[in-house]
């Protein structure tokens, strides 16, 4: 263990829940693949002790919470060391607002990884809330990992899926998706989700509609040309979806090992795959979801 991780690092939030442990495993895989160090972080939320019956909490109570945090970090570090002995690890033990502390740590992170759900006990991180905060206001891309549910088990041989729209944020997502597919040696499914378009069942069948679809296909192919040239090893499936964006991405996520969507920047979740769509994916997608954004550590 090192006292301080070399910047940039992959940051993972630990609270002892199944989702957090699986997030640590996933983050360690990424760290090994990218030859980056791994920062294991836990945040003891002691704010409730400043009010009500907890105001007179003894030093021993605080010591117990601090020990619990250290034990969680030690267990996570041991687990990573057994599975990925070549990955350099560091730990960060904080107290305060979990969202605020992790957002601060994400400033120097290449990627931040959290579980979709947490334990919700005193001293642990409420990962569902933290995940949403990091996706909205974090400084690095964020991967949200589900855990502990057999129905969410995803075959590692499945493709990477990326959702795109016509915004600039999608370019970062496309870059991450191509890179992840290349590293995993799997195919990439590019879904241009049909926001604001009628469903396939409702749309009239017409020559004009067929022409519009052909034009969308051509535009998407042209947009991907440079990425295909950069990653010639990645087999690409292009889909111009006419369904609701959420339904389209959830459908293609069913057999995927990762879904990637984009963000226009710090605090900005406007556009196709942000707001309700990204939040729905985080909570319902049967595989990890990576929300990509530009990062100063890239």
The mean pLDDT value for 95-115 works out to 91
The mean pLDDT value for 140-155 works out to 67
262 φ/ψ angles, rounded to the nearest 5 degrees: -115, 170
Separation CA 228–CA 234 (nearest Å): 7
CATH fold of the domain at 9-151: Rossmann fold (3.40.50)
* CATH number listed for the domain at residues 154-292: 3.40.50.12370
- Of residues 260 and 120, more confidence is placed in 260
Write the pLDDT tens digit of every residue in 39-58.
Answer: 999 987 766 555 555 555 55
Summary mean pLDDT of the chain: 77
Crossing angle, helix 127-137 and helix 276-284, to 10 degrees?
A: 140
Is residue 151 very low, low, confident or very high in pLDDT (cuts 50, 70, 90)?
very low
- pLDDT of 6 > 70? The answer is no
- pLDDT of 227 > 50? The answer is yes
- Of residues 50 and 224, more confidence is placed in 224
Separation CA 50–CA 79 (nearest Å): 34
- Of residues 95 and 50, more confidence is placed in 95
Domain locations in the chain? Answer: 9-151, 154-292
Write the pLDDT tens digit of every residue in 244-285.
Answer: 778 889 999 988 999 999 875 444 444 444 556 777 788 788
- pLDDT > 90 in the chain, percent: 37
Are the CB atoms for 289 and 138 separated by under 8 Å? no
Q: Coil, helix or strand for 74?
A: helix
| pLDDT recorded at residue 263 | 73
| pLDDT recorded at residue 198 | 43
**Helix (H), strand (E) counts: the chain:** 8, 10
Query: Could you check whether 9-151 and 154-292 share the same CATH topology?
Result: yes
Write the pLDDT tens digit of every residue in 57-93.
Answer: 556 666 666 777 788 888 889 999 999 999 999 999 8
H helix or E strand, kind and range, residue 10 = strand 9-13
Query: Model's pTM, two decimal places?
Result: 0.81
**Quick one: residue 105, left, alpha or beta (phi over 0 = left, psi -120 to 50 = alpha)?**
alpha
């Amino acid at each position: 263990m090192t006292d301080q991780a070399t910047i940039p690092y992959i940051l993972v939030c630990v609270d002892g829940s199944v989702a957090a442990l699986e997030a640590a495993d996933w983050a360690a895989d990424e760290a090994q693949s990218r030859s980056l160090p791994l920062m294991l972080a836990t945040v003891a939320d002691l704010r409730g002790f400043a009010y009500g019956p907890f105001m007179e909490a003894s030093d021993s109570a605080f010591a117990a919470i601090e020990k619990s945090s250290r034990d969680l970090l030690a267990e996570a570090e041991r687990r990573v060391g057994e599975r990925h002995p070549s990955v350099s690890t560091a730990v960060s033990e904080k107290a305060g607002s979990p969202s605020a502390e992790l957002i601060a740590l994400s400033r120097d992170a290449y990627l931040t990884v959290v579980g979709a759900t947490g334990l919700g006990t005193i001293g642990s991180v409420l990962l569902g809330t933290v995940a949403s905060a990091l996706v909205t206001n974090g400084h690095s891309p964020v991967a949200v990992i589900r855990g502990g549910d057999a129905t969410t088990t995803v075959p590692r041989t499945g493709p990477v899926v990326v959702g795109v729209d016509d915004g600039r944020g999608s370019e970062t997502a496309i870059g991450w998706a191509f890179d992840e597919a290349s590293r995993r040696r799997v195919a990439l499914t590019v879904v241009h989700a049909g926001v604001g378009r009628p469903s396939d069942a409702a749309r009239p069948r017409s020559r004009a509609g067929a022409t519009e679809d052909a034009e969308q296909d051509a535009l998407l192919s042209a947009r991907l040309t440079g990425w295909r040239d950069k990653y010639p090893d990645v087999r690409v499936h292009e889909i111009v979806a006419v369904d609701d964006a959420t339904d389209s991405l959830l459908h293609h996520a069913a057999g995927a090992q990762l879904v990637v969507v984009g963000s226009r920047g710090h605090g900005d979740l406007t556009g196709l795959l942000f707001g309700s769509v990204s939040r729905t994916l985080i909570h319902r997608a049967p595989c990890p979801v990576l929300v990509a954004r530009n990062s100063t550590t890239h």
